[in-house]
């Protein structure tokens, strides 16, 4: 983490967990635990929890993210949610292209780019997820694969757009498996992503970009991962559902 150059961001990705009443309970526990955070704190909640999350976090330092967004403004897209629906609901961030969406719901590099650009146009800040599978890592194509994901996700975005973009490096083999990447493995790819952004934009844009690590980050390993120069925060799954654990991670990013 290099706090002189960029903002540290800890974001919870609740995935498909917590009903609205359960969300209320979790958020009420979390608010006092993270109120003195020295980093940006985000909770990425299911659509049905957005209203309660926005309401409860008003006047606190917790920001609300959605977990997906469609790229059209409105129309015959049954089951989808538009960028304006999210902004009007008080959402500030949106997770885009999570590997679970790519794997189970047909998300592609092209739709990730469309969603991220639509989000930006509406004033939302996209948290764009990239990351390789175990097969790709073992085949030695991690950098090639992640490079393509990053370049495709950022296609037709300006340097100004990039100021509102967060990238989350989430190796698929580390998600929900308890098998965290080592801090060296995570740093290597986060630094590589920054290099890709520098080559496509500029050193200034790359230096200012927040790049998170995600994949079994928890209260026990967060400080170690966040000690690395290019790991500017975390996208947290399982541990974000436990207020005390999430608060420890926020604390580690606040130092
Ligand atoms: P876990 O922290 O549960 O491994 O999930 C990571 C993740 O996918 C966050 O988006």
Which residue's CA is the closest to the ligand 1 atom numbered 9? 237
- Encode pLDDT of 41-90 as tens digits: 999 999 999 999 999 999 999 999 999 999 999 999 999 999 999 999 99
Q: Is 215 in the pocket of ligand 1 (CB under 6 A)?
A: yes
For helices 20-34 and 243-254, the axis angle rounded to 10 degrees is 40
The yes-or-no answer on residue 170 being catalytic is yes
- Encode pLDDT of 172-208 as tens digits: 999 988 888 899 999 999 999 999 999 999 999 999 9
Domain boundaries, the chain: 9-253
Q: Is 172 in the pocket of ligand 1 (CB under 6 A)?
A: no
Query: If you measure from the C-alpha of residue 120 to the centroid of ligand 1, how many angstroms do you get, rounded to a whole number?
Result: 24
Q: Is 217 in the pocket of ligand 1 (CB under 6 A)?
A: yes
Bridge partners of 15, per DSSP, are: none
The mean per-residue pLDDT over the stretch 27-52 comes to 98
Q: Is 142 in the pocket of ligand 1 (CB under 6 A)?
A: no
Tell me the whole-structure pTM to 2 decimals. 0.97
From the candidates 98, 100, 107, 187, give the one annotated as an active-site residue: 98
pLDDT band at 101 (very low <50, low <70, confident <90, very high): very high
Which residue's CA is the closest to the ligand 1 atom numbered 2? 237
> Given this structure, which CATH class describes domain 9-253?
alpha beta
Q: Give me 137's structure tokens.
A: 């890592």
pLDDT for the residue 176:
86
């Amino acid at each position: 983490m290099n706090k002189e150059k960029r903002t540290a961001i800890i974001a919870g990705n609740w995935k498909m967990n917590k009903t609205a009443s359960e969300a209320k309970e979790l958020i009420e526990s979390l608010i006092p635990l993270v109120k003195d955070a020295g980093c940006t704190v985000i909770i990425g909640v299911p659509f049905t929890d957005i209203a309660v999350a926005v309401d409860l976090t008003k006047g606190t330092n917790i920001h609300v993210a959605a977990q997906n967004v469609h790229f059209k403004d409105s129309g015959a897209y049954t089951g989808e949610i538009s960028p304006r629906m999210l902004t009007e609901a008080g959402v500030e961030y949106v997770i885009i292209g999570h590997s679970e969406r790519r794997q189970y719901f047909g998300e592609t590099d092209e739709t990730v780019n469309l969603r991220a650009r639509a989000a930006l146009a509406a004033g939302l800040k996209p948290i764009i997820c990239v990351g390789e599978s175990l097969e790709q890592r073992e085949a030695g194509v991690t950098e090639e694969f992640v490079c393509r994901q990053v370049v495709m996700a950022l296609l037709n975005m300006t340097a100004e757009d990039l100021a509102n973009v967060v990238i989350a490096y989430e190796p698929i083999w580390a998600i929900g498996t308890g098998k965290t990447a080592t801090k060296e493995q995570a740093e290597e790819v986060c630094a590589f992503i920054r290099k890709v952004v520098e080559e496509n934009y500029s050193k200034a844009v790359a230096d200012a970009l927040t790049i998170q690590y995600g994949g079994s980050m928890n209260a026990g390993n967060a400080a170690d991962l966040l000690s690395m120069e290019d790991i500017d925060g975390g996208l947290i799954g399982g541990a974000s559902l436990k207020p005390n654990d999430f608060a420890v991670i926020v604390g580690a990013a606040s130092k």
